[in-house]
Amino acid sequence: MRINRLHKTHLRKATTWTYLNWPVAVVLAVAAAVITTLTLLPGPSLAGVRTTLPTAPAWPAVPASTAAWPDVPPPTTTTVPPPPVETPAVVPSTPTSGAAGNAVDSSSAAAWAASPGVTCIRQHESGDNYSDNTGNGYFGAYQDELSTWDSHGGTGLPSDASPAVQDAINYAIYLSGGWGQWGTAGGCGL
């Protein structure tokens, strides 16, 4: 009787543990099944697995001289000078016309400044007044900022510079950045 009673107690405890810890029981059962299957099944064992990498095949030795290779020409030591570099001829720029027909001659600073499109910009920016200084941070006929003026070789205030100097500096500004410097360029057809 005692054996029967002990058996029922243990069975009840095992059932209670399994009910509370069923995920653990499932994992243990699957692990036991996998281990048993791998151990008992016939097939290759890990003993047959290589533990070293195979070696690469040996390449044939290359002879020290090219005499053994008759189809290969001997190396040459003669150097050929590169062909002469041709410098393209400087072509003077031609006038460009904007939407309003304002031709701009960019062949020189003086020709650029005398162009109708550039004259239109000066008219819109400052009333074509080379000494314009209204205190708004922009100076001269082209209403230059000091930082732009200085970065293109100007000194002092643009409004204090002569018209020829302002034209030359603004021509350089135009060459480095196009018409974007002047917001009125679009209204002048440029």
pLDDT digits 0-9 by tens, 124-157:
999 999 999 988 999 999 999 999 999 999 999 9
pLDDT score of 98: 45
pLDDT score of 171: 92
pLDDT score of 2: 53
pLDDT score of 96: 44
- pLDDT tens digits for 57-106? 666 665 555 455 556 666 666 677 777 766 554 444 444 444 444 555 55
pLDDT score of 71: 67
Partners of 139 in the β-ladder: 133, 144
pLDDT score of 24: 79
- What single DSSP character describes residue 64? S
pLDDT score of 28: 84
pLDDT score of 48: 54
- pLDDT tens digits for 158-183? 999 999 999 999 999 999 888 888 88
Degrees, nearest 5: CA angle 139-141-143: 40
- For residues 18 and 16, the model is more confident at 16
- What single DSSP character describes residue 30? H
The label of the residue with tokens 């189809």 reads: 71
Confidence of residue 34 (pLDDT cuts 50, 70, 90): confident
Among 148, 185, 189, 190, which residue's Cα sits nearest to residue 170? 148
Q: Using a cut of 0.85, tell me whether the model's pTM lies above it.
A: no
Strand residues in 23-170 grouped as ranges (E):
96-97, 103-104
Task: For residues 27 and 33, give the distance between their C-alpha atoms in angstroms, rounded to a whole number.
Answer: 10
Strand residues in the chain grouped as ranges (E):
96-97, 103-104
